[in-house]
Structures are given as structure tokens and as C-alpha cells.
């Protein structure tokens, strides 16, 4: 299942880690994850989200604010009953763990390029295979997964097609055009609209859109900590001015959540 990120040879258990026939070895961290991101594949010393960003997202999600989103995601994946699945860009593992709980007999993998995120994700479910790895060079074999999930994460479409078995599917979860509109209105003079279907134009040959649905609800954030964490876990936390961020944190906020789920299947 796992392949070497350096030579693509199969990886097998070896002492407290994994190794390939060519002799490339990768140790398992004490938290339980495998770091399959070679230094030559990094764009910086510590790529991905830093500890502060990861902790903000962990606090916000563990507070239950996005629980309906995670519940629907797990339901949709469970309906497919995959033998093997992969969560790409799993962050600190909130959504991944709920998928794992819905699929106790399936083999689950999750990766993120952030070591800080994966260190925390490991604590959620030790049965899953947690990996520090690049989504552009996923260390899993061709056609090895029946389901891929991508939650608020960039996506390498060619890698997705490579990883999916024929008839398998990618479940992409991302914001609709109205997502957090009230928050965006408080942060910017001009709120730019965006097309929540633009990703459909990126679907490669050999894959097709099979199903779409949207989940919407209203969210009221009473505590300044929750509002600060929401800002920290979105791009708005660094795009908006400090003055406007402080104004958002200072007062209770009611905001609409709008999320789109797309099933994109690989052809048989």
C-alpha cells in the first residue's frame, strides 16, 4: 500500500518504521505517525500550518461549531463503505477521526504536509495510518483507494486520479459562495464574490462529477476565543487589517455557514 517517496518502491515494516527494497528507511515518530516527506521535497524548513494555526483550528472544531459538517461528511463516506480510504490534507484530524469512527472495519490513511498538524491528529485515532507527506507526491500505490476525501484543502487532481481505483470516488468538501459572508462583510470594504463551481473545470479526463449537495446553517459565536480561533484558521486572519480583526473578536457574531460536497468518480 505505502510506497517510498524517493523511489516509489513498496514500503514494508522494519523495526520501528518502514523501509523499501532500495534501502530507503523512514522511522516512526513516538506519536505514531510516519514522516514520508523527504527534505528535498520541502519548500521550507517546516511546511504547512504552524502550531498556533493548528491549535486554533483544534479548539474551534472541538468546540462543536462545525459538527454538522463533519457528521454529513462521515455519512457520505460511510455510504460508499470503502475497503481503503485516504484523507488528503487532513490537518489536525477532526474530520478524519469521524470518518474513521463511521468506518471501523476499513483501512484508513490520512496525510498532511504539516508535522505540527499530524502530531496532534495521531491522538484522535491510533488505528488510522497518519502520514506527514506531500499531496503532490502521495506515498500510496496506484489505484489503491476506493475513496479519497479533501476537506478545505488544495488538491492535486492528477494524484487523485492516480490513487483512485476504477469506480472509486473523491469527496471534495469546500465553501459555497455564501460561506461566512457576514464575517467577510465585517473584515473588508468590498466582499468579492466567487464561483463555488470553478473547481469542476479542473476535473481531469477519466473522472466525472456524480453528485453535489450543499449544507447550510447559522452559527452564533458568543465567546471571543471562538471568534479569534475562526479568524486564525481562515485566510481572513492575515488578509484583513488588525483593527477589523479586533472588532470581530470584540462582539458576538452570527454568521452563515455554507458548504458544498461533491462526489467526483473515476471512470470504470
Binding-site residue positions for Zn(2+): 4, 7, 20, 24
Q: Measuring CA to CA, which residue among 217, 213, 215 is closest to residue 256? A: 217
State the Cα–Cα distance between residues 68 and 200, nearest whole angstrom: 24
State the Cα–Cα distance between residues 187 and 210, nearest whole angstrom: 36
What the block records as the C-alpha cell of 239 is 488578509
Which residue ranges make up the annotated binding site?
Answer: 4, 7, 20, 24, 66, 92-93, 179
SS3 state at 196: coil
Q: Measuring CA to CA, which residue among 174, 152, 183, 190 is closest to residue 53? A: 152
What the block records as the C-alpha cell of 88 is 488528503
State the Cα–Cα distance between residues 201 and 136, nearest whole angstrom: 19
Which residue ranges make up the annotated binding site for S-adenosyl-L-methionine?
Answer: 66, 92-93, 179
Amino acid at each position: 500500500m505505502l510506497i517510498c517517496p524517493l523511489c516509489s518502491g513498496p514500503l514494508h515494516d522494519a523495526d520501528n518504521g518502514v523501509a523499501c527494497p532500495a534501502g530507503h528507511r523512514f522511522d516512526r515518530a513516538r506519536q505514531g505517525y510516519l514522516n514520508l516527506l523527504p527534505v528535498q521535497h520541502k519548500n521550507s524548513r517546516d511546511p504547512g500550518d504552524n502550531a498556533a494555526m493548528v491549535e486554533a483550528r483544534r479548539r474551534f472544531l472541538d468546540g462543536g461549531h462545525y459538527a454538522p459538517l463533519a457528521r454529513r461528511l462521515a455519512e457520505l463516506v460511510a455510504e460508499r463503505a470503502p475497503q481503503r480510504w485516504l484523507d488528503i490534507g487532513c490537518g489536525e484530524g477532526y474530520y478524519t477521526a469521524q470518518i474513521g469512527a463511521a468506518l471501523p472495519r476499513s483501512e484508513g490513511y490520512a496525510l498532511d504536509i504539516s508535522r505540527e498538524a499530524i502530531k496532534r491528529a495521531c491522538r484522535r485515532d491510533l488505528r488510522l495510518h497518519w502520514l506527514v507527506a506531500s499531496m503532490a507526491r502521495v506515498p500510496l500505490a496506484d489505484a489503491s483507494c476506493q475513496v479519497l476525501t479533501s476537506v478545505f484543502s488544495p488538491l492535486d487532481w492528477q494524484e487523485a486520479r492516480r490513487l483512485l481505483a476504477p469506480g472509486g470516488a473523491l469527496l471534495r468538501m469546500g465553501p459555497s459562495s455564501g460561506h461566512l459572508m457576514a464575517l467577510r462583510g465585517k473584515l473588508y470594504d468590498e466582499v468579492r464574490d466567487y464561483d463555488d463551481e470553478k473547481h469542476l473545470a479542473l476535473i481531469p479526463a477519466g473522472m466525472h462529477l456524480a453528485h453535489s449537495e450543499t449544507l447550510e446553517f447559522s452559527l452564533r459565536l458568543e465567546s471571543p476565543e471562538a471568534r479569534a480561533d475562526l479568524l486564525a484558521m481562515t485566510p481572513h486572519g492575515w488578509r484583513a487589517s488588525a483593527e477589523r480583526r479586533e472588532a470581530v473578536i470584540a462582539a458576538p457574531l452570527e454568521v452563515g455557514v455554507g458548504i458544498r460536497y461533491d462526489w467526483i468518480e473515476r471512470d470504470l
